[in-house]
């Protein structure tokens, strides 16, 4: 009995500690950045982030949220999420970063044998209202970054479905809900839903997701939500693993 109590207590403390991660996020505006490295330069890019870039970000007022590599390393990409106080501060902080003497010295040192980054993709985001109420779970061994492109006028429907059904049904199968975001689109275009879903490993994730897809409760909720038409046009998904220095695990 004492051993069982200890296990339960440790599990509770684990959830409490990692739940505080999301609650302690101070940022109100976020950016998903995807760097494609030149051939053979990924180790140098990772080293530059670990030894220099992340520290300079924090010193200047940016917030490191999460750092990932794709499971399929042939993509040669580094994914990370960074936070800002607000949308207006984003460009100003990057201007300060670019002009920072420590960054300039680290950058020049890192490219003595060639430029590291070939391409950068940027996606701006805010936290999705009502979809980040629970604590952040204990660390996962694998993540899937999922981006939902919805049919016109359906973004509120997908949020309602996740809030009322999907998140709980994920948890029922052992899948872990991490932060949910809405993209900030130019010209007032409809945002996309972006979120991270975790599990212990890829095989277990895929089995759990398959069980979710055939769960009668999910099928019923999906059919009810689509009485007035399909909601999701397509989903982009990629399996990721956190880098050792990632704040979010």
The pLDDT of residue 18: 33
Percent of the chain exceeding pLDDT 90 equals 85
Domains and CATH numbers, the chain: 29-126 (3.30.70.100), 128-242 (3.30.70.100)
CA angle 83, 87, 89 (to 5 degrees): 80
Q: Is the pLDDT of residue 86 over 90?
A: yes
Asked if the model's pLDDT at residue 17 lies above 70, the reply is no
Using pLDDT thresholds of 50, 70 and 90, give the confidence band for residue 4.
Answer: very low
DSSP line for 170-221: HHHTT-EEEEEEEE--GGGPPP-EEEEEEESSHHHHHHHHHHHHT-HHHHHH
- Report the pLDDT value the prediction gives residue 11, as an integer from 0 to 100: 34
Is the pLDDT confidence value at 162 over 80? yes
Question: Can you give the pLDDT at residue 26?
Answer: 87
Instruction: Average the pLDDT over 112-137 and give the result.
Output: 94
In degrees to the nearest 10, what's the CA dihedral of 74, 72, 62, 198? 180
User: 0.85 cut: is pTM over it?
Assistant: yes
Average pLDDT, integer, range 222-248: 97
**pLDDT one-digit tens code per residue, 179-228:** 999 999 988 899 999 999 999 999 999 999 999 999 999 999 999 999 99
């Amino acid at each position: 009995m004492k051993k069982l109590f200890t296990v339960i207590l440790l599990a509770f403390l684990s959830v409490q500690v990692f739940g505080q991660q999301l609650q302690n996020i101070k940022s109100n505006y976020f950016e998903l950045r995807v760097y494609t490295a030149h051939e053979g330069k990924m180790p140098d890019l990772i080293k530059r982030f670990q030894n220099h870039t992340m520290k300079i970000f924090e010193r200047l007022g940016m917030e490191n949220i999460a750092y990932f590599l794709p499971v399929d390393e042939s993509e040669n990409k580094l994914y990370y999420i960074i936070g800002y106080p607000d949308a207006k501060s984003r460009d100003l902080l990057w201007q300060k970063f670019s002009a920072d003497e420590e960054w300039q010295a680290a950058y020049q040192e890192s490219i003595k044998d060639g430029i590291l980054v070939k391409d950068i993709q940027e996606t701006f985001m805010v936290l999705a209202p009502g979809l980040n109420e629970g604590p952040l779970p204990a660390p996962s061994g694998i993540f899937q970054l999922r981006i939902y492109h919805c049919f016109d006028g359906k973004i509120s429907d997908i949020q309602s479905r996740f809030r009322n059904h999907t998140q709980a049904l994920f948890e029922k199968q052992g899948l872990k809900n991490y932060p949910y975001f809405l993209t900030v689109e130019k010209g007032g275009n409809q945002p996309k839903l972006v979120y991270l879903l975790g599990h212990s490993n890829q095989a277990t994730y895929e089995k759990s997701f398959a069980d979710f897809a055939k769960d009668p409760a999910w099928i019923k909720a999906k059919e009810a939500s689509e009485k007035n038409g399909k909601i999701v046009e397509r989903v982009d998904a990629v399996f990721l693993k956190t880098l050792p220095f990632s704040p979010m695990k």
